[in-house]
């Protein structure tokens, strides 16, 4: 047997288990999403019929879906800048000195590690209207207390704050990795070149050289924020009055509480398009950077 033929056989054999499992647990489910979305299938049905675009038409007329989509985007618009900014500031501040570095790094990373579900329960207690620490603090500072999770006007933003709390440490670690790749000499050179202050050095060196990391962090943060589910399910169940209804929660409710699989599949397609679209944006921006470098 020739060398290349034997490599061919070995290669196919080695990817065989992965291929079978991928077929079963990735390709088949993914394709069936695109089939289900055009059917009236409900879990347990013995048969299904194709209904064309009816699921999507229903979606277009469904205020819950629109609410859910808008809420997801609002949540994302708060969490992404918030967790990126806090992550970047943390990374810069930690990097600017030598003392207590690993203490801060560890402290900021703890929320990333802790089970969000368990911590959501803790947040619920902290936000408790009558004996939560948040309202106690508000009262002590002379502000009016709130019923944080039951007030439709603020509940989504409260969840966003929890989202920032949970994810900024992750962004910080990525930013710190990016910062450590910037040669120290450049800052010395900038100092000699007369940069008047740290802000000028940040603009001259840190920000442009961090750009690829920043784009990566942005894309990751957006995708993660689209996947918000745990806090919604544990704390608000999408309420009050759909104020915190988000895409993944709607998919969950449609697919696993009402078992309207076709409807859930249609929303899933919207969800997939959002996620894939953001990822593709990253490739475009990489291409652009690559071309000009």
Partner 1 sequence: MMPRSFAASAFRHAALLSIATFALLPFAVMVSTSIKPANEIFSDTVRWWPQKLAMIENYSEAFSAAPLMLYLVNGVVVTAAIFFLQVLVALPAAYALAKLRFFGRHVAFGFVLFCLLIPYQAIAVPLFILLYYVGLLDSYSALVLPFTISVFGIFLMRQFFMGVPDDLVDAARMDGMSELSIVWRVMLPAAVPALTAFGVFSVVAHWNDYFWPLVAVSSDSYFTPPLGIMAFRNAEAGNDFGPLMAAATIIVAPLLALFLLAQRRFIEGIAFTGIK
Partner 2 sequence: MAGVNIRSVAKTFGETHVLKGVDLDIRDGEFISLVGPSGCGKSTLLRIIAGLEQQSSGNILLDGTAVDRMRPRDRDLAMVFQSYALYPHLTVAENIAVPLIMRRLNATERSVVGGLLPSGRGKRKEIAAEVERVCEALSISMLKDRKPAALSGGQRQRVALARAMVRKPSAFLMDEPLSNLDAKMRVQARGEIAALHRQLGSTFIYVTHDQAEAMTMSDRIAVMMGGEILQIDTPDQVYQMPQDLRVAEFIGSPKINVLQAAMSENGALAFTSADTDSNRVHAAFRPEAARLAGEAEAALGGTIHHIENLGADLFVQVMTAGGDLVIVRCDPSGIRPAIGDKVGIHVDETRLHVFGADNRRIAGAFRLEGGR
| Sites for partner 1 among residues 205-264 (CB under 8 A) | 213, 216, 220, 223, 226-227, 229-230, 233-234, 248, 251-252, 255-256, 261, 264
Q: Please spell the DSSP secondary structure of the chain, one letter per residue.
A: --HHHHHHHHHHHHHHHHHHHHIIIIIHHHHHHHHHTTB---TT-S---B-TTHHHHHHHT-HHHHHHHHHHHHHHHHHHHHHHHHHHHHHHHHHT-STTHHHHHHHHHHHHHS-HHHHHHHHHHHT-TTT-HHHHHHHHTTPPP--TTT-TTTHHHHHHHHHHHHHHHHHHHHHHHHHHTS-HHHHHHHHHTT--SHHHHIIIIIHHHHHHHHHHHHHHHHHHHHT--HHIIIIITT-STTTT--HHHHHHIIIIIS--HHHHHHHHHHHHHHHHHHHHHHHHHHHHHHHH-
Q: Which residue has the tokens 């609410």?
A: 67
Among 51, 73, 74, 112, binds partner 1 (CB under 8 A): 112
By CB under 8 A, residue 142 contacts partner 2: no
By CB under 8 A, residue 14 contacts partner 1: yes
Within positions 192 to 221, which residues make up the interface with partner 2, using CB under 8 A? 192-196, 200, 204-205, 208-209
By CB under 8 A, residue 97 contacts partner 2: no
Segment interacting with partner 1 (CB under 8 A) among 24-32, 58-66, 69-77, 148-156: 24-32
Q: How far is the CB of 212 from partner 2 (least distance, A)?
A: 11
189 binds, among partner 2, partner 1, none (CB under 5 to 8 A by kind): partner 2
Segment interacting with partner 1 (CB under 8 A) among 49-57, 62-70, 110-118, 203-211: 110-118
151 binds, among partner 2, partner 1, none (CB under 5 to 8 A by kind): none
Within positions 174 to 193, which residues make up the interface with partner 2, using CB under 8 A? 183, 185-186, 188-193
221 binds, among partner 2, partner 1, none (CB under 5 to 8 A by kind): none
Among 51, 58, 73, 136, binds partner 1 (CB under 8 A): 136
By CB under 8 A, residue 111 contacts partner 1: yes
Residue 175 near residue 93 (C-beta atoms within 8 A): no
When the beta carbons of 57 and 193 are compared against partner 2, the nearer one is 193
| Residue ranges binding partner 2 (CB under 8 A) | 183, 185-186, 188-196, 200, 204-205, 208-209, 293
């Amino acid at each position: 047997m020739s060398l290349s033929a034997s490599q061919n056989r070995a290669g196919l054999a080695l990817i065989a288990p992965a291929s079978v499992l991928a077929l079963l647990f990735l390709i088949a489910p993914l394709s069936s999403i695109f089939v289900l979305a055009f059917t009236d299938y409900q879990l347990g049905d013995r048969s299904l019929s194709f209904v064309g675009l009816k699921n999507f038409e229903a979606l277009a007329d469904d205020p819950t879906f629109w609410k859910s989509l808008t809420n997801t985007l609002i949540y994302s618009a708060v969490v992404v800048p918030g967790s990126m900014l806090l992550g970047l500031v943390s990374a810069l501040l930690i990097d600017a000195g030598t003392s207590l570095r690993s203490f801060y790094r560890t402290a900021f990373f703890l929320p990333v590690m802790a089970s969000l579900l368990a911590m959501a329960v803790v947040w619920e207690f902290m936000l408790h209207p009558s004996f939560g620490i948040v309202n106690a603090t508000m009262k002590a500072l002379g502000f009016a207390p709130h019923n944080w999770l039951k007030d439709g006007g603020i509940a989504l933003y409260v969840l966003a704050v929890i989202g920032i709390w949970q994810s900024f440490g992750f962004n910080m670690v990525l930013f710190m990795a990016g910062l450590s790749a910037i040669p120290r000499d450049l800052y010395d050179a900038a100092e000699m070149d007369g940069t008047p202050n740290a802000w000028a050095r940040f603009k001259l060196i840190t920000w442009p050289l961090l750009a690829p990391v920043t784009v990566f962090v942005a894309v990751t943060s957006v995708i993660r924020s689209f996947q918000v589910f745990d806090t919604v399910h544990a704390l608000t169940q999408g309420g009050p009055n759909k104020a915190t209804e988000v895409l993944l929660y709607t998919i969950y409710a449609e697919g696993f509480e009402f078992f309207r699989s076709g409807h859930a599949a249609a929303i899933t397609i919207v969800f997939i398009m959002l996620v894939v679209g953001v990822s593709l944006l990253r490739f475009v921006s990489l291409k652009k950077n690559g071309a000009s470098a």
